[in-house]
Amino acid sequence: MQPPPITSLAYASDDMIYLAGGDHQVRRWNLANDRLSLAFTAHPSVVQGLAISADGEVIATTDGAATTRVWNARGELQHALTSPGLKPSALAIDRTGQRLLTGAHSAEPTPAACRLQWWDPQRPQPLRTIADFASEDTIVDLSSSPDTWQVATATAGGKFSVWNLKTGLLLQTLKPRSFGSPPRVPLGLDASPDGRHIAVAHDDGFVRVLDRNATQLQREIKVFPEAAACVDFAPNGNLLAVSGYDHNVKLVDPTAGKVVATLSGHQAWVLSTSFSPTGSRLATGSYDKTVRIWDVEQRKMLFQLGQHAASVECVAYAPNGRLLASASSDHVLRLWDTQDRVLLWSNADHLGAIRSIAFAPDGKTLASGSDDKTIRIWNVDGANTQLRHRMVGHRDTVWCVRFSPAGKRLVSGGADGLIGVWDVTKGQAQMLQRRHTDTVSAVLFGPHGSFFLSGGYDKQLLIWPKRGLPARP
């Protein structure tokens, strides 16, 4: 029997996390001792929304039907808030717990089909209606700023807006923007070593170079006649390695905006690339089941590292430049010594194809994501590498994983459209949210870990701030 789905997650403090879902209940877990400290039935149906004040004294829930309910820290009902004819679709509480924000919509299209409202959690009537929306712009999420006087809304119509609660004025609206017309699927992401540029590989064969904030298009480079699936910056930032749905890897000058070399030798699609820390070598993994090492300056293959039993989905150099990880749809994760050209370690614990791997910046930790819906965290020690955590939360294939610059967090994207942020030390989810309507194909932390990006088959490239809702560039 499958456990009920978790539909909402919220932190009240560093040690307290609240979960709500399909069993109609809200649960509070103490992460310090991994114990359940509170559980109560919030609604007669699935809990669709959950918001917590910073001190945990105010809890707001909704089932998306007609009522928002306000609870105290003991799970005792304080108030039921209703707006006639409207169904709540999103909730947020400011850090003081004195202001509750709701987004609601009506079942029938009307001139005021969707509404953003401000409440005092201790009163059953709204203090202010901030805005009304057209029916196609249902509010799907909210976030209150730390100063408590601004609120951000995200809508199903693709708008990200910022409002002033005191005046009710709209301060800013951002609409979805795709780089290239018509919109294209972002399949690969990487940042330049100096953090000034972000490269995006798209399904139209272009690599597009954006600014450090991923908001301004700086250059478009046509690399393949069809999809460009993978992109990697060299450590000096002067080259990009780009692979696509043919047998070659293209080396691209991102400043000049042109292909400067082609690496040929694979017998099928090249699925993954990884530069060594010095940039002198490039590792590639292919559908032809091989891992190959190339001399970047000489533009030639140096050697092949064994062979997997199926397609090599991903390769990654460790920061020491000697160790290389490869993973395959044969379920096997391998570690190679590229100096002695020998296999050090292999593991077949995953129950499905391994689609993504990443080393932490210190090289002591490796993450792998798989068709088996799990992420595994490994303590890297050559032939003695051991499993540290098995992390569960995705409902489908984990397509991409990336570590934060400090190595303490991991971001993941899945075929379920979910974005996950994980505490690597504890092996626990800090966030699981669905903002993509299709497979998440690529994720990337921005400079200094201040934000991360996600790209998906829904042709969206989303910017996720360190805290709060994603915006669309």
Q: Could you give the percent of the chain with pLDDT greater than 90?
A: 50
| DSSP element (H, E) containing 337 | strand 333-337
Strand order in the sheet with 418-423: 398-403, 409-414, 418-423, 428-434
How much is the average pLDDT of 169-184? Answer: 59
Domain membership flag for residue 181 = no
354 and 333 in a common domain: yes
Instruction: Say what the pLDDT of residue 73 is.
Output: 87
Strands (E), 354-473: 354-359, 365-370, 374-379, 386-392, 398-403, 409-414, 418-423, 428-434, 440-445, 451-456, 461-465
Closest by CA to 165, choosing from 197, 143, 187, 198, is 143
Instruction: Say what the pLDDT of residue 248 is.
Output: 94
CB contact burial 402-428 (16+ within 10 A = b; e otherwise): bbbbebebbbbbbbbbbbbbbebeebe
Instruction: Say what the pLDDT of residue 62 is.
Output: 86
Domain membership flag for residue 180 = no
Q: How many domains does the chain have?
A: 2
- Binned at pLDDT 50, 70 and 90, residue 97 comes out as confident
203 and 169 in a common domain: no
Q: CATH number for the domain including 390?
A: 2.130.10.10
Domain membership flag for residue 332 = yes
Domain membership flag for residue 122 = yes
- Binned at pLDDT 50, 70 and 90, residue 101 comes out as confident
CA atoms within 13 A on the CB side of 226: 6
190 and 170 in a common domain: no
- Binned at pLDDT 50, 70 and 90, residue 277 comes out as very high
- The parent domain of residue 254 ranges over 186-465
Domain membership flag for residue 380 = yes
Tokens of residue 438, six digits: 């299709």
Domain membership flag for residue 461 = yes
Cis ω before 146 (30° cut-off from 0): no
What's the rounded Cα separation, in Å, for the pair 185 and 455? 7
How much is the average pLDDT of 268-290? Answer: 95
Residue 11 has pLDDT above 80, yes or no: no
230 and 349 in a common domain: yes
What's the rounded Cα separation, in Å, for the pair 339 and 372? 32
Q: Which residues pair with 191 in a beta bridge?
A: 198
Of 99-113, 278-292, 357-371, minimum mean pLDDT range = 99-113
Query: Is 472:157 a contact under the CB 8 Å cutoff?
Result: no
CA atoms within 13 A on the CB side of 43: 22
Maximum pairwise Cα distance, the chain: 73
Instruction: Say what the pLDDT of residue 1 is.
Output: 45
Instruction: Please give the mean pLDDT across all residues of the chain.
Output: 85
Question: Could you give the angle at the alpha carbon of 81 between the alpha carbons of 40 and 71, nearest 5°?
Answer: 30
* More confidently predicted of 48 and 294: 294
Structural Rg of the chain based on CA atoms: 24
CA atoms within 13 A on the CB side of 432: 21
193 and 50 in a common domain: no
- Give the global pTM: 0.65
How much is the average pLDDT of 435-462? Answer: 88
Residue appearing with tokens 């995200």: 154
167 and 229 in a common domain: no
Instruction: Say what the pLDDT of residue 471 is.
Output: 47
What's the rounded Cα separation, in Å, for the pair 46 and 24? 5
Sign of dihedral through CA atoms 468, 470, 208, 353?
A: positive
170 and 191 in a common domain: no
201 and 54 in a common domain: no
131 and 208 in a common domain: no
Domain membership flag for residue 1 = no
Instruction: Say what the pLDDT of residue 174 is.
Output: 60
Instruction: Say what the pLDDT of residue 306 is.
Output: 81
At which of 150, 174, 198 does a domain end?
174
pLDDT digit string, tens, across residues 117-137: 888 888 877 887 877 766 556
pLDDT digit string, tens, across residues 314-346: 999 999 999 999 999 999 999 999 999 999 999
261 and 138 in a common domain: no
Of 94-103, 236-245, 338-347, minimum mean pLDDT range = 94-103
At which of 174, 205, 226 does a domain end?
174
Long-range contacts of the stretch 292-301 (C-beta < 8 A, 24+) = 292/265, 292/266, 293/324, 293/338, 294/249, 294/263, 296/234, 296/239, 296/251, 299/251, 299/261, 299/263, 300/263, 301/263, 301/265
Long-range contacts of the stretch 10-16 (C-beta < 8 A, 24+) = 10/50, 10/51, 10/52, 11/52, 11/430, 12/52, 12/53, 12/54, 12/55, 12/56, 13/54, 13/55, 13/56, 16/56
Question: DSSP readout, 25-90?
Answer: EEEEEETTTTEEEEEEE--SS---EEEE-TTS--EEEE-SSSEEEEE-TTS-EEEEEE-TT-EEEE
Q: Which residues pair with 143 in a beta bridge?
A: 152
- Binned at pLDDT 50, 70 and 90, residue 206 comes out as very high
* More confidently predicted of 200 and 471: 200
Closest by CA to 288, choosing from 332, 329, 227, 250, is 329
Q: Please give the backbone phi and psi of residue 89, each rounded to the nearest 5 degrees, phi first.
A: -120, -10
232 and 381 in a common domain: yes
Domain membership flag for residue 393 = yes
Residue 91 has pLDDT above 90, yes or no: no
- Binned at pLDDT 50, 70 and 90, residue 172 comes out as low
What's the rounded Cα separation, in Å, for the pair 472 and 463? 6
Tokens of residue 465, six digits: 């701030």
219 and 148 in a common domain: no
At which of 174, 207, 240 does a domain end?
174
Instruction: Say what the pLDDT of residue 136 is.
Output: 56
- Binned at pLDDT 50, 70 and 90, residue 158 comes out as low
Closest by CA to 75, choosing from 50, 45, 101, is 50
